[in-house]
Structure 1
Amino acid sequence: MSARGRVAAQEQAHSLLVEGTRVDLILRRSARRSFALQVDHRGARVAVPLRTPLDEIERFIHSHGRWLLDRLQARTAVRAAPAMDIVDGATLPLFGCPLTLRLHPGRSVRWQLDGAREELMLPTAVDTQRALVRALQARALAWYHGRVEECCHRLALPVPPVRLSNARTRWGSCSVRSGIRLHWRLVHLRPALIDYVVAHEVAHLLEMNHSPRFWAVVERLYPGWREARAQLREATATLPVLTCAVGSARGAREH
């Protein structure tokens, strides 16, 4: 269709009940062929072909209802959580265990053990918050790569590139071209919950959808995925929020 004959996109506010929860979203109709549902800093949005009936749109939204509610809940939790102050003696979770932060003069970052408790030595001569995030990202990437590798071996799949994500609404993503990305903030969670997200993304290497076949692959990798998914939603609100926003680190660097 020529630019002159193309129909302009139409947007309108829409509300519906999803699993008993009222969801407000923006409905966008345009000259597209597929349906798309997303959650970002603006809220929930659904994009559909121009003349799609409303009941068909709502069926599509309900078919992704749990995904939609999870993303909205995660968005609300991140916005509500207070930022953490980086001070000497502060603690935050690392793989579900307490990590103590220690400040020292100088420019080096060091990990050390104090008995059974792990400590992270942060320099005060540089940007302490940035140093903290980068140290956590480095630990996260090493851990994630090992877990992805194990899941791929169990499915007899080649191991894809593994990178970190700083996405607003997803814990992970999978692409045939770019590999698997996992959010660095998962590093705060218990390994069992991280493994669920890893299993979810590795399963997408075989099934790029959320069909019954996909969930069967997840079941093979992580039989307790239903409980883990529920626990992951609850844990979202408990994660520390650092006042330094650092993007994904390439190469050092559930949807």
Structure 2
Amino acid sequence: MPRVQALRGKAQEQAHTVVIDGTAVELVLRRSARRSFALQVDHRGARVAVPLRTPLGEVERFVHSHGRWLLDRLQARAAAPAVPVLKAAEGAAVPLLGRPLTLRLHPGRSTRWRTGADGGEELQLPTAVDPLRALLRALQARALAWFQGRVEEYCHRLGLEPPPLRLSSARTRWGSCSSRSGIRLHWRLIHLPPALIDYVVAHEVAHLLEMNHSPRFWAVVERLYPDWRAARGALRKAAATLPVIASAPSADSGRFGAED
């Protein structure tokens, strides 16, 4: 029998194989206290998430109902260039706001930003703790500060008070907006050039006026970000090039989108 791994709370993960059109597909089955079903493909392979007590037969029926999509996505990912997996090594580079950030390692427990000899930014990561986790925390802190300023700017253009802002690790969305909880932006946007980040911010801020994707909504987006069509296409291409930080959740770039 497959080994079941207990996760936070009552969530469980186990390996499972489903045969689709004669092809054996290895996937990870995740059961948790959720209400919906979800199927995704990312750098780790195929994953299906279901409510905790879902019978296995029902899980397999759900996977088979999306079998063609699943096989196509697995084939496309196999044919695509490998997504770079970032390692916290001396001299490694990670994109930050579209420019390379050089990583440096140092003994100790603190993380420090500094300017390198070539004028570029460097991030000193401590080796006394997990440097990958330190990198993740540093990037997320930088992301929150940057995104906050951009949300305030676009809200100001519409004459609105900035709503609460939180970071997201969603697997299929760059951002979301709720009248109750405010705006959420994926922290990995911090890898991208500022112009692409601004498109996602403008998209979510526009939802403060129009909680839909009607022509009125896109008119607000165009008012905030006239070149949104080109930015949306560039965003889809950029998603496939972003590095994966091993200790961080990563979305399937093939399904990522600003739309929510």
TM-score, with normalisation over the residues of structure 2? 0.66
Among 89, 92, 95, the residue aligned to 1:90: 92
Over 3 Å counting, the alpha-carbon distance change for 1:154 and 1:76 in structure 2 is farther
Pair 1:166 & 2:185 matched: no
Displacement after TM superposition at 1:86 (Å): 1.4
The match for 2:190 is 187
CA contact (8 A) 1:130 1:246 kept: no
User: Matched residues in 2 for 1:157 and 1:99: separation?
Assistant: 34
Q: Is the 8 A contact 2:113 2:121 kept in 1?
A: yes
Do 1:110 and 1:121's aligned partners in 2 also have CA atoms closer than 8 Å? yes
5+ residue gaps, structure 2: 1-35, 49-68, 251-257
Secondary structure of 2:139 counterpart: helix
Instruction: Name the residue aligned to 1:214.
Output: 217
Take 1:200 and 1:152, find their aligned partners in 2: how far apart are those partners?
11
1:156–1:76 distance in 2 versus 1, CA, 3 Å: farther
1:139 to 136, 139, 142: 142
Runs of 4+, deviation exceeding 3 Å: 36-44, 75-80
Cα displacement (A) at 1:82: 3.7
Give matches, 1:47-66, under 5 Å. Answer: none
Q: TM-score, normalised by structure 1?
A: 0.67
Q: Distance in 2 between matches of 1:79 and 1:138?
A: 30
Aligned match for 1:245, one of 237, 242, 248: 248
Matches of 1:147 and 1:174 in 2, distance apart? 15
Return the letter of the residue paired with 1:101: L
2: distance between equivalents of 1:153 and 1:118? 30
For 1:157, which of 148, 160, 164 is the aligned residue? 160
* Counterpart position of 1:116: 119
Decide which of 125, 128, 131 is 1:125's aligned counterpart. 128
> 2: distance between equivalents of 1:129 and 1:43?
24
For residues 180 and 240 of structure 2, what CA distance do their matches in structure 1 show? 32
Would you say the 8 A contact 1:164–1:182 is kept in 2? yes
Percent sequence identity over matched residues?
A: 67
Q: What is the CA deviation profile of residues 104-129 of structure 1, one whole-angstrom value per residue up to 9, with x for unaligned ones?
A: 00000000001420000000000111
